[in-house]
Amino acid sequence: MKLKKVLAEKQDKKLYVIESGSTVRDAAKKLVGMNTGCLMVVEKNTEPLKFTGIVTKSDIVRSVSANTSKPDEDKVDDFMTRQMIVASCEDDVEYVMNVMVRHNISHLPVIEGKAISGVISKADILESLNVEQDIELHWLSDYSGVSSKNEVY
């Protein structure tokens, strides 16, 4: 299965962003308010958007747990990941999942052409794989006559 299919099946297709220079508190509020696990960091006043990094809930927790933490002063730029690993929408899901596990990545930007078409999480991939396996299992059960769903009354 290709990553493009996972993106298409994803319920929340929005790409959430925060401007470079925003505070950690602003990022935390936005993560909670949007019910998302990550924000793409963009340069201020750029059109099209210029992405400079990604900040996740884990990054926010790491920043707040620092002994010198000042959430109203600390900037997302200091805690975001700048060297992003990205995936292509044509990549195989299994390959992408292995990359995410190997590099301990919870969220991965997906590129289509030269633009970011979305962000995929481990949960998105697992949900998609589970749905596909359920469909295959039901098909095999129906085919073999094991399932009671194929009975006609």
Give the pLDDT confidence of 2-61 residue by residue, as tens digits. Answer: 999 899 888 788 999 999 999 999 999 999 999 999 999 999 988 888 999 999 999 999
| 27-36 pLDDT, tens digit each | 999 999 999 9
Q: Hey, where are the domains in the chain?
A: 3-145
Q: If you search the block for the tokens 């308010």, which residue do you land on?
A: 33
pTM of the model: 0.80
Q: Which fold has domain 3-145?
A: CBS-domain (3.10.580)
- Angle formed at CA 73 by CA 69 and CA 76, multiple of 5 degrees: 85
Distance CA 8, CA 117 (A): 10
